[in-house]
Amino acid sequence: MAVFVMAGLLIIYLVFVTQYAIRLIVDPNGIAKVMGAALIIFPFLGGYLLAADLNFAFRAGALAKKLGAEGGLPIDDLPTLPSGRPDPIEADKEFPAYQAAVEAQPESWRAWFRLGLAYDASGDRRRARWAARQAIRLERADRLTL
């Protein structure tokens, strides 16, 4: 729910920035026109990035739901920090098993998704997103070939 609230607030902000950029563009002052033209890029960039991030979140969520329905999600028994996040030191101990699974089955979206979860538990969000993107790409390819 918080994602939708934040997305809504960002959309409202982008609308106001776009309106302000248009006012600057129609201003007779040359510097204002240049500033307006530069400012109008940000709403489009922000909108694209918001759409891309929401698309990733929905696709990754769908894969998690699908893997969960198959009983393929890793058991969540890692000790947690006071913040509620898994202890990265303990998560690192389980990581090699998920990495080996991907090496054994590089075309398995399930193995890649579990690797992404292992990266996330270890605190490496960048690689977690990368592995989840790989899983999304492979699952999409599987669906198209069936």
Does residue 10 share a domain with residue 53? yes
Predicted local confidence at residue 64, as pLDDT: 95
Q: How many residues does the chain have?
A: 146
3-state percent breakdown (helix, strand, coil) of the chain, nearest 5: 80, 0, 20
Instruction: Tell me, yes or no, whether 75 lies in a domain.
Output: no
Report CA torsion sign: 97, 61, 106, 129: negative
Burial 52-83 (b: 16+ CB within 10 A, else e): eeeeeeebbeebbeebeeeeebeeeebeeeee
pLDDT digits (tens, 9 = 90+) for 35-66: 998 888 888 888 898 889 989 999 999 999 99
Phi, psi of 80 (to 5 degrees): -115, 160
Question: Rounded to whole angstroms, how far apart are CA atoms 7 and 55?
Answer: 12
- Enter the pTM of the model: 0.77
Does residue 60 share a domain with residue 16? yes
Question: Rounded to whole angstroms, how far apart are CA atoms 108 and 134?
Answer: 9
Does residue 9 share a domain with residue 54? yes
Is the model's pLDDT at 146 over the cut of 70?
A: no
Does residue 94 share a domain with residue 64? no
pLDDT digits (tens, 9 = 90+) for 5-44: 988 898 898 889 989 999 999 988 889 999 998 888 888 8
The pLDDT mean for the chain works out to 90
Instruction: Tell me, yes or no, whether 74 lies in a domain.
Output: no
Instruction: Tell me, yes or no, whether 79 lies in a domain.
Output: no
Alpha carbon of 38 to those of 10, 18, 19, 86, 96: distances in Å? Answer: 19, 11, 13, 43, 47
Range of the domain at 11: 2-69
Q: How many domains does the chain have?
A: 2
Residue type, 76: D
Does residue 64 share a domain with residue 9? yes
Instruction: Tell me, yes or no, whether 78 lies in a domain.
Output: no
Does residue 63 share a domain with residue 6? yes
